[in-house]
């Protein structure tokens, strides 16, 4: 492939080359956007591929055998990811989450984790490094991930019933393999583990209480179960409000089986509302992305697998950091870390994204005339 030829797959989402300011926006850990929100969390997609075909993320009728995923040459290298992460950390990021697609499909991803684990905040503290996975490869990879420096994992698990789970992943993958992966992660010390269940009314909502009962009985307080409202991310998941089960109803169902008590947020910008079992049997969380927007304190940025920076899960446009990482200034010199950091600072300082709040006020259209980014492309 010629040096100046851009694969069509790279053009599926609009992304502008960031402006590099002449001065200002130097890293200082105090960066805030137009709504006063700091930058604390960077979610890094390491692949756009997944071995599941869940209907709410990568439906099989769209992501079939002919779908054109990004070529390997388009992906950021581990060294490029680490370089970008270092610049975000200088701006105040303290948490890195690896996601996808399915991040464990990226070859030697533990090598990337080792590089990221060596990074430190300006105060000399290690980063909170975690990874979200569908659990299909976790049993064989858990120990290597822990050895590389991974701290925690979040596992997607939409049903305990095997038939329902196979139907939801749409590749006939058995739930028992994911459960063994969770066991392996606990054994490797990747805890506390979070289990995420996307709740789709009429499809798997009857699994809420059985899954909670299993987690309470089998794992105890070392595993936190979280329930996520089915979201209108992208345009391929056939989203319908009728299929959304509000988190308030999830809590009602759980409370009827296991009395709950509310908990305070564990950190600013946390997406989940926390509840604990009154009998001390651990806690659960609900993520109300549709019925109760949490844009007000959102401190997350998302980096796509080929280096496009998105400032909102519901964004339609990104910022092409890869062009700065691989490109050159007009005089032919490569862009320096200081210049790229300044560009990142400018991007965040101009951020005013609050899609969910606008949607809640019925002020946002479904697509704003542009194609919104898909879940598999930048992670959840």
Longest CA span, the chain: 67
**Average pLDDT score over residue span 146-158:** 97
Q: Where are the domains of the chain?
A: 8-378
Is residue 370 within 8 A of residue 313, CB to CB? The reply is no
pLDDT at 367 over 60: no
- Using DSSP's 3-state secondary structure scheme, residue 212 falls into helix
pLDDT tens-digit map of 113-151: 999 999 999 999 999 999 999 999 999 999 999 999 999
Mean pLDDT of all residues in the chain? Answer: 87
**Adjacent-strand bridge partners of 317:** 14
Strands (E), the chain: 14-16, 41-45, 95-99, 128-133, 152-156, 193-199, 223-229, 260-263, 273-277, 283-287, 300-303, 308-310, 317-320
- How far is residue 331's CA from residue 329's CA, in Å, rounded to a whole number? 5
With cut-offs at 50, 70 and 90, classify the pLDDT of residue 327. Answer: very high
> What is the mean predicted confidence (pLDDT) over 300-329?
91
Question: What pLDDT does 27 receive?
Answer: 87
Give the confidence band of 366 by pLDDT, cuts at 50, 70, 90: very low
CA 39/CA 88 separation, integer angstroms: 8
Rounded CA gap, 130 and 370, in Å? 32
Interacting residues of 117 by C-beta distance below 8 A, sequence separation 6+? 126, 127, 129, 148, 149, 150
Look at residue 298 in the predicted model and tell me its pLDDT: 85
Alpha carbon separation from 298 to 39, 92, 243, 359 (Å, rounded): 9, 14, 25, 16
Q: DSSP letters of 215-259?
A: HHHHTGGGEEEEEEE----SSSS---GGGB--HHHHHHHHHHHS-
The residues near 20 (Cβ < 8 Å, ≥ 6 apart) are 324, 335, 339, 340, 342, 343
- Strands 308-310 and 300-303, sheet pairing: antiparallel
Q: What does the block give as tokens for 101?
A: 């697609």
CATH class assigned to 8-378:
alpha beta
**Per-residue model confidence as pLDDT tens digits over 184-196:** 999 999 999 999 9
Which residue's structure tokens are 């992966």? 181
Cα distances (angstroms) measured from residue 232 to each of 12, 179, 203, 355: 19, 28, 16, 11
Look at residue 220 and tell me whether its pLDDT is greater than 60. yes
Torsion angle of C-alpha atoms 198, 200, 205, 207, degrees rounded to 10: -40
> What is the distance, to the nearest Å, from the Cα of residue 295 to the centroid of all Cα atoms in its chain?
15
End-to-end CA distance of the chain: 32
Q: Which pLDDT value is given to residue 147?
A: 98
Residue 224 pairs in a beta bridge with 194
CA distances (Å), 41 to each of 130, 296, 370, in order?
Answer: 11, 15, 26
According to the model, what pLDDT value does residue 222 have? 84
Who has greater pLDDT, 22 or 252?
252
Q: What percentage of residues in the chain have a pLDDT greater than 70?
A: 84
Q: Is the Cα torsion angle 53, 58, 63, 67 positive or negative in sign? A: negative
Whether 162 has a pLDDT exceeding 70, the answer reads yes
**CA nearest to 245, candidates 197, 282, 278, 213:** 197
pLDDT level of residue 232 (50, 70, 90 thresholds)? low
Q: What are 244's two structure tokens? A: 């959304």
Share of the chain above pLDDT 90, in %: 67
In this prediction, residue 377 carries a pLDDT of 60
* Top-confidence residue, 230 or 326: 326
Distinct helix (H) and strand (E) counts, the chain: 11, 13
Average pLDDT over residues 273-293: 86
Average pLDDT over residues 209-231: 91
> What pLDDT digit, counting tens, does each position of 21-44 carry?
988 788 887 789 998 999 999 999
Nearest to 194 by CA among 145, 257, 151: 151
The pLDDT assigned to 308 comes to: 95
User: For position 75, what pLDDT does the model report?
Assistant: 96
């Amino acid at each position: 492939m010629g040096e100046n030829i851009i694969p069509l797959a790279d053009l599926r989402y609009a992304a502008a080359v960031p402006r590099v300011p002449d001065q200002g926006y130097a890293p200082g850990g105090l960066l805030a956007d137009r709504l006063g929100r700091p930058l604390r969390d960077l979610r890094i997609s390491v692949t756009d591929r997944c071995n599941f075909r869940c209907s709410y993320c990568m439906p099989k009728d769209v992501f079939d055998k002919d779908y054109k995923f990004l070529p390997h040459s388009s992906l950021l290298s581990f060294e490029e990811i680490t370089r970008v992460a270092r610049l975000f950390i200088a701006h105040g990021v303290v948490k890195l989450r690896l996601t996808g697609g399915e991040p464990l499909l990226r070859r030697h991803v533990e090598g990337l984790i080792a590089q990221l684990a060596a990074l430190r905040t300006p105060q000399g503290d290690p980063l909170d490094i975690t990874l979200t996975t569908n659990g299909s490869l976790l049993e064989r990879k858990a120990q290597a991930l822990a050895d590389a420096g991974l701290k925690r994992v979040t596992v997607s698990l939409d049903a305990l019933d095997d038939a329902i789970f196979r139907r939801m992943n749409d590749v006939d993958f058995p739930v028992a393999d994911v459960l063994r992966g969770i066991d392996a992660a606990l054994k490797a010390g990747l805890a506390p583990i979070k289990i995420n269940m996307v709740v789709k009314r009429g499809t798997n909502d009857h699994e809420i209480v059985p899954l909670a009962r299993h987690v309470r009985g089998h794992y105890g307080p070392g595993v936190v179960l979280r329930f996520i409202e089915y979201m209108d991310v992208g345009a391929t998941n056939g989203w319908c409000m009728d299929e959304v089960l509000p988190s308030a109803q999830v809590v009602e169902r759980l409370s009827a089986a296991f009395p709950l008590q509310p908990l305070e947020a564990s950190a600013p910008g946390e997406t989940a509302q926390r509840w604990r079992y009154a009998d001390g049997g651990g806690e659960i969380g609900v993520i109300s992305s549709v019925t109760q927007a949490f844009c007000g304190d959102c401190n997350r940025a998302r980096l796509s697998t080929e280096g496009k920076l998105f400032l909102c899960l519901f964004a339609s446009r990104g910022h092409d950091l890869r062009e700065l990482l691989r490109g050159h200034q007009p005089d032919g010199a490569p862009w320096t870390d200081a210049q790229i950091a300044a560009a990142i600072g400018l991007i965040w300082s101009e951020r005013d994204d609050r899609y969910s709040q606008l949607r809640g006020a019925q002020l946002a259209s479904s697509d704003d005339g542009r194609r919104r980014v898909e879940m598999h492309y930048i992670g959840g």
